[in-house]
Structure 1
Amino acid sequence: MACPVNNTVELNPTLLPLEWLLGTWECDEPGEGSFPTIKPFRYTETLHFSHVGQPVINFMFNAFHAESKKPLHRECGFVRMQPGTNRVAFIIAQNSGLVEIEEGELTGQQLSLQSLQLARTSFAKEPYVKQICRVFQLRSDGKLEQTVSMATDNQPLMQHLRITYRRSS
């Protein structure tokens, strides 16, 4: 289900520095995922960033296995920006039972975030995720690149995902 951009309501002025994120983004080529405790994989993903005029951006990310098309991962939540600063927060719920608060800074059209708080269901799969760092970069060719690094109970922080998207709406 898409989260369409609301063209009838003005974007809250607090969010103007993040306007470049709005819309639907689809990967051109499959992204690559790896981590020492899993088999490397390729995936496709669609991102939806929308708003309803409040000082918050709504988002939904849907990832699928590149070959089998099997659903892999979903994330949804909100993006907030501290008024008058370049400080940004992502509030994220994942279908794996993990909930995150990531905060960071916007520099031009690059958003660098790191987890401040992680919570999980009592029956979450081990090893537990202990840290997440995420970078969104709007490249000069108009494509959006995302990298995600992760640390768990038994692995240090390292790159887990890398993917590039093109705007589809």
Structure 2
Amino acid sequence: MSTEEIHEALAPIAWLAGRWVTEEGKGQYTHLKDFQYHEVLEFICVGQPMFNYTSTSKHPESMKPMHQERGFLRIKPGTNDLAFIVSHNFGLTSLEEGSVDSVKKEITLATANLAAMSFSKPPHVKKFSRIIRLLQPNVLEVELYMETDSTPLSKHLHAIYRKD
């Protein structure tokens, strides 16, 4: 995707545009056995001041589906303020808000609101914190922290992606 196709408001995060594939994805959490995953992230602009977002994770060996997310990463035009609306396939929708540091090429987001389906299974997610940083022009790092009703905010996911 060329930068001409990206809405001008997205200039501070234009580096995020495109398809990213994991080189390494690792997960951990207090009640889970450490795990690895393969993931594809896509940030696509369709002409509006936002990216359409998709994430699809698979088991690295069996390639069976693990987790999916769909949403929108919006920027408040003329600012570095961001809102990330994400629907997760386990029945949760999160609204994370934060900002981008244009010099560091780093996005920081934290939960502003959560909505869960009535029959979601425990433990229930209470909070996310996410850091997305560009390490090199074609290398992206994502860290996700999660809090549940039984665990304080803790590192859950860490991945390194290469632009596809």
State the TM-score, normalizing by the size of structure 2. 0.94
1:156 — aligned with what?
A: 152
5+ residue gaps, structure 2: none
Stretches (4+) displaced over 2 A: 7-10
Are the counterparts in 2 of residues 9 and 52 from structure 1 also a CA contact under 8 Å?
no
Equivalent residue, structure 1, for 2:71 = 77
For 1:99 and 1:8, how far apart are their aligned partners in 2?
30
Structure 1 residues 141 and 21, CA gap change in structure 2 (3 angstroms): closer
Which SS does the other structure have where 2:136 is aligned? coil
User: Deviation digits for residues 75-105 of structure 1, max 9, x if unmatched?
Assistant: 0110111122111110111101100100001
- Extract unaligned runs of 5+ from structure 1: none
Matched, 1:122 2:105: no
Give the partner amino acid of 1:38: L
State the percentage of identical aligned residues: 41
Does residue 139 of the first structure (1) align with residue 135 of the second (2)?
Answer: yes
How far apart are 1:140 and its partner, in Å? 3.1
CA distance in 2, matches of 1:91, 1:136: 15
Residue 9 of structure 1 and its aligned partner are, at CA, apart by: 7.1
1:21 counterpart = 2:39: no
Contact 1:96 1:124 in 2 (8 A): yes
For residues 121 and 9 of structure 1, the distance between their equivalents in structure 2, rounded to whole angstroms, comes to 39
Work out the number of aligned pairs and report it.
162
Question: Please, what TM-score do these two structures have when normalized by structure 1?
Answer: 0.91
Residue 99 in structure 1 maps to residue 93 in structure 2: yes
Deviation, structure 1 residue 11: 1.8
The 1-side partners of 2:128 and 2:94 are apart by 9
User: Once the two structures are superposed, what CA deviation does each residue of 1:23-80 show, in whole Å capped at 9, x if it has no partner?
Assistant: 1000123x11010111111001001111111111101000011222111000011011
